[in-house]
Amino acid sequence: MKYGFLIYIVLIFMVVVFVSGCGKEKSNIPVSDQKQQQQQVGIEDEDTTSLTPAESFAAGLCQDILNDDTEVDFESYLIDVVYPKVSNSTKVTLDRISSSIFLLTYYEGNTEKHLLIQKYFNPQKGEIYFESTETSLSPIKQFLK
């Protein structure tokens, strides 16, 4: 009987220790490190909200319309070359025709205009570059015949 009572006490002690330890989430990260992490998150949030209009334009077309955030070279081309041409437009859209051909549609006043953008690779220099030409092709003329 003595051992039964002793086992009962040890069991209750273990349950109390276990229950008091549950539900408490302890962080092993010092407070200064936690503040530093929060500041870094704040910096990252600032980076995404401080885009220039040209960067926002390129990111919107590539990431939101094309659903592709791997086209870094193409985004740069859109920022540097295409944005100055279409910055006054009220509507712009981008269609991927193939892996190397894009059709950008924009409005200049009431006139719908189209840019055919082609992606090239220069094997001698090992670089990718883009060229754009105005075209009369529209997605409707191209695909709905």
Specify whether the CB–CB gap between 114 and 104 falls below 8 A: yes
- Asked, for residue 16, whether it belongs to a domain, the answer is no
- Asked, for residue 66, whether it belongs to a domain, the answer is yes
Q: Please enumerate in sequence order all residues whose Cβ is within 8 A of that of 119, keeping only pairs 6 or more positions apart, or say none.
A: 74, 99, 100, 101, 102, 128, 129, 130
Q: Is the pLDDT of residue 44 over 90?
A: no
Residue 131's φ and ψ, nearest 5 degrees, are -135, 145
Contacts 24+ apart (CB under 8 A), 109-117: 112/138, 114/138, 115/82, 115/85, 115/86, 117/77, 117/82
- Asked, for residue 92, whether it belongs to a domain, the answer is yes
Q: 10 versus 94: which is more confidently predicted?
A: 94
Domain ranges, residue 72: 51-143
CA angle 94, 95, 99 (to 5 degrees): 120
Count of structural domains within the chain: 1
- pLDDT tens, position by position, 46-67: 455 688 999 999 999 999 889 8
pTM, 2 dp: 0.61
Measure the CA–CA gap between 26 and 92, rounded to whole angstroms.
Answer: 51
Give the amino acid at 117. I
Specify whether the CB–CB gap between 112 and 138 falls below 8 A: yes
Q: Coil, strand, or helix at residue 93?
A: strand
